[in-house]
Amino acid sequence: MPWLRPSRRFLSNMSTRTHRFFVFCIMITIVAISLFLFQNAHSFISQEQICDSKLNEIKKLRPIHHDVSSIKPIIFIGGMPRSGTTLMRAIIDSHPQVRCGEETRVIPRILSMRTSWEKSTIEWNRLLAGGMTEQILDSAVRSFVYEILFYHSQSADILCDKDPFVLKYASYISSIFPRSKFILVVRDARAVIHSVMTRKVTITGFSLTDYRQNFKLWDKGFAVMYDQCKEVGKDRCLMVYYEQLVLQPKQTIENIIQFLNITWVDDVLHHEEFIGKKISLSKTEHSSDQVVKPINLEALTKWVGHIPVDIIREIDKLAPMLRTLGYDTKSKVPSYGIPDELVLKNMNRLKNNAKFWNAKAKLYARKLPNTTDF
């Protein structure tokens, strides 16, 4: 039927209209996108400015690691676990110039890794063959450790690290941090092992049932720290006996402050007043619930009467370092000394306000499993 066939003119008009409509749609889309970009341009610019501003702030905060002389003084606190290292760091933490904070746990690991590289001839030669000189590695380790401490210590005047096994590397640390000082906390191995086993502290290699194994491991581990402390020298490494710290806190802490060459403040005698304020405690550390209390004698002789008789007879063979350190290994109840007035007052405070202090200790009771690498 001819009348059903569209004319050429009609088809041409349709094509022109379609083309114009298509062009119109493109123009509308371009205008819409332009308007959107114009309206949001200020937002994009603001976001870019914020990012640039934050980046500049970070750059300003980042410490410079290349100049060793610019690095802040650092205190390293160590000793065998359950020796009083947490109490020691809480006391140091109460000084306004210093902040130690909780155990980092990563610093001993990086130091152990650096040591293992050098001990392995094959690994060391591979590193050297790959262009990793000793200077590069030491610079990297120094930067890593300092970065951790700088931010963990909240940029305090004097940085501090309390990781029990960090003193195993005192000699190396002293070489990369010339302004560092070390505090090695010493405690009777019998008290240490009793605490480890009764409080179920899981330390790599230690047993919760085998006394002989534990005393041997204590002796081996402490001997390394002892030798490292001697190698560093008395001017850089101070041995602090836990027993004297709790019996004669005033005199002992005065000696520590003098060794660290920092100004005396009475705050260091009352660390418990700063718990939850300047001093933060981790609920994954076994000693947190104990150091919330003022310096006291509660844990001094808890071990007496609890270690098997046959182990006591063999103690000089199992842990010869005890004699080296001057501990009495023959008496059933050794005398560590006479308590001073300060600690006697603290003991009365604990006795008269037992409910208060016990409730406070419960707040910091360990919540999570905790394994200490040896």
103 an active-site residue? Answer: yes
State the CB neighbour count (10 A cutoff) for residue 357.
Answer: 18
Under 8 Å between Cβ of 232 and 171: yes
Task: Let me know the angle formed at the C-alpha of 312 by 309 and 316, rounded to the nearest 5 degrees.
Answer: 155
Q: 166 is written with which tokens? A: 């960090």
Determine which one of 102, 103, 272, 285 is catalytic: 103
Phi/psi of residue 339, nearest 5 degrees: -70, 145
Q: Which of 295, 270, 291, 294 is nearest to 281 (CA)?
A: 291
Consecutive H or E run containing 187: none
Report the length, in residues, of the chain: 374
List phi, psi (to 5°) of 334: -65, 150
The 3 state secondary structure assigned to 145-199 is HHHHHHHHCCCCCEEEEECHHHHHHHHHHHHHCCCEEEEEEECCHHHHHHHHHHC
Tokens at 89, concatenated: 């760091």
How far is CA 342 from each of CA 28, 166, 250, 274, rounded to the nearest angstrom? Answer: 85, 31, 7, 18
Burial of 230 (0-12, 13-18, 19+ CB in 10 A): middle
Q: Give every CB contact of residue 18 below 8 A, 6+ residues apart in sequence.
A: none
At residue 206, what is the residue type? F
- Write down the residue that tokens 């619930």 correspond to: 289
Record the tokens describing residue 235, joined without a space: 């001017």
For residue 238, what are the β-bridge partners? 183
Report helix, strand and coil shares of the chain as percent, to nearest 5.
Answer: 60, 10, 35
Q: 239: helix, coil or strand?
A: strand
80 three-state secondary structure: coil
Q: Looking at the annotation, which residues are catalytic?
A: 103
